[in-house]
Amino acid sequence: AKGARKIASRKAGHLEPFTRVKLQLAKGRDLFIVTQAETIDAYPALRADLTLTGYAAYVIELLDRFVPDEEAAVPSLFRLLTETLSRLAAESIPWLTVRSYEMRLLDLLGFRPQLFECANCKNEIQAQDQFFSAALGGAICPRCGQGLPGLWRISQEALKYLRHFQRSEYRTAMRARPDEATQKEIETLMQGYFQYLLERELNTPGFIKHVKA
> What pLDDT, in 10s, does the model give residues 47-89?
899 999 999 999 999 999 998 765 556 889 999 999 999 999 9
The pTM for the full model equals 0.85
pLDDT score at 23: 67
pLDDT score at 6: 47
Provide long-range contacts, Cβ within 8 A and 24+ apart, for 65-71: 65/198, 65/200, 65/202, 66/105, 66/109, 66/197, 66/198, 67/109
Q: Which of 171, 204, 179, 185 is nearest to 56 (CA)?
A: 204
pLDDT score at 37: 72
* Cβ proximity of 88 and 49 under 8 Å: no
pLDDT score at 4: 46
CATH of 43-203, one of 3.30.720.120, 3.90.320.10, 1.10.10.10, 1.20.1440.120: 1.20.1440.120
pLDDT score at 32: 76
CA 46 to chain CA centroid, nearest Å: 16
Given a cut of 50, the residues of the chain with pLDDT beneath it are 1-8
